[in-house]
Structure 1
């Protein structure tokens, strides 16, 4: 059932890499709605992270939604591998290749929800004919490639315009980058309903002491809850 309630999606890029399974279970127990997996290829973005084997390994530990963000180019040759690894949502970048329509078709054909990501410098005018092919649009509020960057405020207006463009379609708007209790309400007010947060969720906690994860998630959620 589609709903626009705000969902918090911790990014495991900020988790303890040696304890992914325990970290995921801990953060879900502390209130995470989705688990966000940042896949980077060292080519489309200047960092190298995870592939399908890692996604397959952590899938049994995820009881919510496995939200896989492909910051890779090309995308199409890897769609089936990530789908087979258990991704619920597969998001590809508009900028990653010349045939995004085909990519979105392939993601849905593989049995996943189709996401479309937009870099900070990319406008929304090119996605009008794609809105009926996507289940999620991810607006990057930092330049993709690294965690811990500062929030780019110009994207608030982009999200507001995007929300108007989407209308009553069942399409999530996800925000990735620089989400904190200070920036989350700006994006929720503009129309976003999935908030990816890395360091803002995982800071101060650990597998041995996961309580700060819950405190951080509740702080973000409280910042967007309207009285």
Structure 2
């Protein structure tokens, strides 16, 4: 598995998500940020929007659940058409059971960590997962500045993933741009969420290509 770019539609035009997805045909996934105004201080979209977009978009959907009680709600996002569902371990009551349920329903299971949450206590959980998401900003709002203090955690996550011998993806989300993606790739990330960098560009598809090329140049060196 090579570099993957997953643009966040949090920074897209919510009035026409189908057209926004069509502007980035080269994206590997569409990253959908689900916020409930409880786990994070923002309210965005839910399963019905993901279900509608999954029927018209050519890219698979990567649902990032920044919500309370993901144990209850995460399975419904698989049923809505998400190909990957990420829950925050800080909010999950039974993360192993939840990851297994997501996988059993046919989606990739991913665990997200807020910037202050260490990866080490969850090493034994890694075999139950398909991806780990390291947040490089505090979750809740797009357009935030990248937190360099998260780079050591990305490196530790990469080491733990490699030690498991599995094929987990290591995703980063928050402040990813041409200026920061190189540092993330050097630290071991291979899957990148970029919102404002993509949809704030004059040519979003060209930005997707540039982000991929920049990260790939590091990974291949």
TM-score over 0.5 for the pair: yes
Partner of 1:12: 9
TM-score by length of 2: 0.94
Match of 2:61 among 52, 63, 66: 66
Post-superposition, which runs of at least 4 consecutive aligned residues in structure 1 deviate over 4 A? Answer: none
Structure 1 position 65, deviation (Å) = 2.3
Q: How far has the Cα of 1:214 moved from its partner?
A: 1.9
Tell me which of 184, 189, 192 is aligned to 1:192. Answer: 189
Asked if the contact 1:184/1:223 (under 8 Å) is kept, the reply is: yes
Partner of 1:91: 86
**Matches of 2:115 and 2:41, distance apart in 1:** 16
Runs of 5+ consecutive residues of structure 1 not aligned to the other structure = 206-211
Could you say what secondary structure the match of 2:118 adopts?
coil
**Could you tell me whether the CA contact under 8 Å between 2:74 and 2:87 is conserved in 1?**
no
SS in 2 for 1:37: strand
Match of 1:164 among 140, 150, 159: 159
**CA distance in 1 between partners of 2:205 and 2:103 (Å):** 33
Aligned-CA RMSD value: 1.2
1:41 matched to 2:36: yes
Shift of 1:15: 0.5
SS of 1:164 mapped into structure 2: helix
Q: Are the aligned partners of 1:79 and 1:110 in contact in 2 as well (CA < 8 Å)? A: no
2:212 to 215, 221, 225: 221
- Once the two structures are TM-superposed, the CA of residue 11 in structure 1 deviates from its matched residue by 0.4
| Residues 133, 170 of structure 2: 8 Å contact kept | yes
Number of equivalences: 216
Cα displacement string for residues 173-197 of structure 1 (whole angstroms, at most 9, x for unaligned residues): 0000000111101111111111000
SS state at 1:96 partner: coil
Q: 3-state SS of the aligned residue for 2:207?
A: helix
**TM-score normalised to structure 1 length:** 0.91
Q: Which stretches in structure 2 are left out of the alignment for 5+ residues? A: none
